[in-house]
């Protein structure tokens, strides 16, 4: 017996208060474990920017002072300081990029892991279109990197170095310092805020249209044979072109906004520099400022605006980053389809009897019951079939047994243990299956089989193929196990795909097999052969055959007839054939 242990609830529900926070705040919070690294990056960035600012101010002092023929020692010290500032600027900038990018990329890696973990704990493919999901996984996830590298460090560096520049200039010439403070506030705060407000709408549209374009492209590529066969390819291409044209329009609007921000910053910079020059000339004429200090004030003012130059472009991107963050957290906030486990140690070697009592499942609070009080038992080693019309709840039953969904009521036991208490991966080591549409990866037969057991040797792979009645077909292929199956298994027939999925399930060495509509897309002749092979390979397992087809039901140990989420009849093929009801009516039709 295993000890009851608490398992971390990584896929637990996200609190409503957290869900309502601004996506930008939530994205920034993802970097919290590396706040020290980002603080170091801000410090190094401030040193680099400050060194550049001091370098220009010192150069102005040297040029203005040289006209008065100062002592060579003074110029020598200035030359040494110039070299030190130049070297320090380059080194600190390199270190700043190294530290901040390292922290940002590590954060991005953690975000990607969180996204994949959330997807593994949910049923995202019924909630998002495949192309849209790809866009969320790639573009929207990488928006985190964009925010941390461009939207976090530069503003903080601007605050530190801009404040320092204002203080230094105020010491040299107070009116010049105050003027610089006003100019920096306009260029570094007012213009970015305006750019952020104007960019909110285009940013939302850009994230949405990018997802639409990705969806249209994926639908076109994956559905190309059917689109061509039914003459719909031209309409689909028009849909792709329309999405691309819309994205181009949004990108142009974004570029125009970036240009507007750059122009506004340049205008503020020019007005501030001219203002500093005017005030300085007046001060020199009045005797309150010398000519050398005038040069330092004017050139330092000009150089100071390099500090805030990136901010309007960053602010203009915040709308798109916020929209991408909302789409990213749309995935991360998706509630898990199964509750966190409360214990570990489900033993695959124990009794494989499956007992389901009072099982109730529905897909939403106001939805009808997909399963309503289902009682079912699969004795160890038996093959049990669950049949019924579409919408009867058969596939929902299979998803609960495979731990893709939690029951809303009732109990599901394997070997006397409630499977909802254990991690899904442990349950799937005991309960494996063949889904209705098994996924075949664009790789070799060997690699597709080894998904079930990565360390399996070739002899074990051939044994699994033999049990699935696929060994002879693979042996006849020129490259055998190294045969490429093509994208989505296009190099294999429908029956071979089902047998490959069965071989993969057998290789996992489960105690319970779940065959969910394994012949749904096969022609009658292939269907009969596949059912015979599946039932033969399932000997020795506790097997649940979920089907709407009546082929091979005379070879199973028990049949459950379901309709509208309830069990209407149960018995053997012979018993149900003699009873009045749905089964006899269908078999005689």
Give per-residue pLDDT as tens, 64-121: 777 666 677 766 777 788 888 889 889 999 999 999 999 999 999 999 988 888 877 6
Q: What is the pLDDT of residues 5-38, one digit of tens each?
A: 333 344 456 777 777 888 888 988 888 899 999 9
> How far apart (Å, rounded) are the C-alpha atoms in residues 547 and 527?
12
Which pLDDT does position 44 carry in this prediction? 93
Crossing angle of helices 233-286 and 291-308, in 10° steps, is 160
Which pLDDT does position 8 carry in this prediction? 39
pLDDT: which is higher, 435 or 462: 462
3-class secondary-structure state, position 143:
helix
- Of 3.40.50.300, 3.30.460.20, 3.40.50.1100, 3.40.50.620, the CATH number of 354-438+508-588 is 3.40.50.300
The pair of structure tokens assigned to 360 is 């109730």
- Segment 511-519 shows an average pLDDT of 83
pLDDT exceeding 90 applies to what percent of the chain? 15
Which pLDDT does position 1 carry in this prediction? 37
pLDDT: which is higher, 183 or 290: 183
Q: How confident is the model at residue 558 (pLDDT cuts 50, 70, 90)?
A: very high
pLDDT at 525 over 70: no
Q: What is the pLDDT of residues 38-65, one digit of tens each?
A: 999 999 999 998 888 888 888 877 777 7
69-93: b (≥16 Cβ within 10 Å) or e: eeeeeeeeebeeeeeebeebbeebb
Output the CA–CA distances (angstroms, integers) from residue 403 to 123, 179, 347, 413, in the order listed.
11, 66, 16, 12
Q: What is the pTM of this model?
A: 0.71
> How far apart (Å, rounded) are the C-alpha atoms in residues 382 and 209?
52
Q: What is the pLDDT of residues 321-333, one digit of tens each?
A: 888 888 888 888 8
pLDDT: which is higher, 233 or 532: 233
Which pLDDT does position 72 carry in this prediction? 72
> In this structure, how many other beta carbons lie within 10 angstroms of the beta carbon of residue 493?
12
Which pLDDT does position 107 carry in this prediction? 93
- CATH 3.40.50.300 in the chain is located at 354-438+508-588
Q: How confident is the model at residue 350 (pLDDT cuts 50, 70, 90)?
A: low
As a whole number, the mean pLDDT across the chain is 83
- Of the CA atoms within 13 Å of residue 126, those in its CB half-sphere come to 7
- Segment 379-385 shows an average pLDDT of 90
Q: Does domain 17-332 have CATH number 3.90.1580.10?
A: no
Sequence-distant (6+) residues with CB within 8 A of 87 are none
> How far apart (Å, rounded) are the C-alpha atoms in residues 126 and 363?
12
pLDDT at 195 over 70: yes
pLDDT at 482 over 60: yes
252-283: b (≥16 Cβ within 10 Å) or e: ebbeebbebbbebbeebbeebbebbbebbeeb
- CATH 1.20.1560.10 in the chain is located at 17-332
Report which of 51, 63, 124 is spatially closest to residue 93, judged by C-alpha positions.
51
Q: What is the pLDDT of residues 225-256, one digit of tens each?
A: 778 888 888 888 888 898 889 888 888 887 88
Which pLDDT does position 553 carry in this prediction? 83
Report which of 397, 406, 392, 349 is spatially closest to residue 377, judged by C-alpha positions.
397
pLDDT: which is higher, 304 or 347: 304
Which pLDDT does position 522 carry in this prediction? 65
Least confident of 33-37, 132-136, 299-303: 132-136
| 8 A C-beta contact, residue 570 and residue 386 | no
């Amino acid at each position: 017996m295993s000890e009851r242990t608490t398992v971390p609830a990584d896929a637990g529900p996200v609190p409503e208060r957290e869900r309502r926070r601004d996506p930008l705040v939530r994205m920034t919070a993802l970097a919290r474990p590396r706040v020290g690294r980002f603080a170091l990056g801000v410090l190094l960035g401030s040193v680099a920017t400050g060194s550049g600012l001091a370098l220009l101010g010192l150069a102005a002092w040297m040029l203005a002072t040289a006209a008065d023929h100062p002592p060579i020692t003074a110029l020598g010290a200035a030359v040494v300081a110039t070299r030190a500032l130049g070297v320090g600027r380059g080194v600190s900038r390199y270190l700043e990029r190294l530290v901040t990018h390292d922290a940002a990329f590590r954060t991005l890696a953690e975000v990607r892991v969180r996204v994949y973990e959330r997807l593994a704990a949910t049923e995202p493919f019924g909630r998002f279109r495949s192309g849209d999901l790809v866009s969320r996984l790639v573009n929207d996830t990488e928006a985190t990197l964009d925010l941390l590298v461009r939207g976090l460090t530069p503003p903080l560096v601007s605050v530190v170095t801009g404040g320092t520049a204002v203080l230094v200039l105020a010491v040299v010439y107070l009116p010049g310092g105050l003027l610089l403070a006003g100019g920096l506030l306009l260029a570094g705060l007012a213009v970015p805020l305006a750019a952020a407000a104007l960019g909110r709408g285009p940013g939302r549209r850009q994230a949405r249209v990018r997802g639409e374009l990705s969806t249209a492209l994926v639908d076109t590529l994956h559905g190309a044979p059917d689109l061509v066969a039914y003459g719909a390819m031209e309409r689909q291409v028009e849909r792709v072109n329309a999405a691309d044209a819309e994205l181009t329009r949004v990108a142009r609007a974004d570029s125009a906004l970036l240009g507007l921000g750059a122009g506004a910053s340049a205008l503020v910079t020019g007005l501030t520099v001219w203002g500093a020059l005017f005030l300085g000339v007046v001060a020199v004429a009045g005797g309150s400022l010398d000519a050398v200090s005038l040069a330092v004030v004017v050139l330092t003012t000009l150089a100071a605006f390099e500090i805030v130059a990136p901010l309007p472009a960053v602010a203009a991107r915040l709308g798109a980053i916020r929209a991408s963050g909302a789409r990213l957290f749309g995935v991360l906030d998706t509630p898990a389809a199964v509750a966190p486990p409360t214990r570990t140690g489900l033993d695959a070697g124990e009794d494989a009897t499956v007992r389901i009592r009072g099982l109730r499942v529905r897909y939403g609070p106001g939805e009808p019951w997909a399963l309503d009080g289902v009682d079912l038992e699969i004795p160890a080693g038996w093959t049990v079939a669950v049949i019924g019309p579409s919408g009867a709840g058969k596939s929902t039953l299979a998803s609960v047994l495979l731990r893709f969904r939690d029951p809303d009521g009732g109990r599901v036991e394997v070997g006397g243990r409630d499977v909802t208490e254990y991690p899904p991966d442990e349950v799937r080591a005991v309960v494996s299956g063949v889904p209705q549409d098994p996924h075949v990866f664009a790789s070799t037969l060997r690699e597709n089989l080894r998904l079930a057991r990565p360390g399996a040797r070739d002899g074990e792979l051939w044994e699994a193929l033999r049990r699935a009645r696929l060994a002879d077909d693979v042996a006849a292929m020129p490259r055998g196990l190294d045969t490429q199956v093509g994208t989505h298994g296009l190099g294999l027939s429908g029956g071979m795909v089902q047998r490959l999925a069965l071989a993969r399930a057998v290789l996992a060495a489960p105690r319970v097999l779940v065959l969910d509509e394994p012949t749904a897309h096969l022609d009658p002749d292939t269907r009969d052969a596949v059912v015979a092979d599946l039932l033969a390979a399932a000997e020795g397992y506790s097997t649940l055959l979920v089907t709407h087809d009546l082929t091979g039901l005379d070879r199973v140990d028990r049949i459950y007839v379901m309709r509208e989420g309830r069990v209407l009849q149960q018995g053997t093929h012979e018993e149900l054939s003699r009873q009045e009801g749905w089964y006899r009516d269908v078999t005689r039709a």
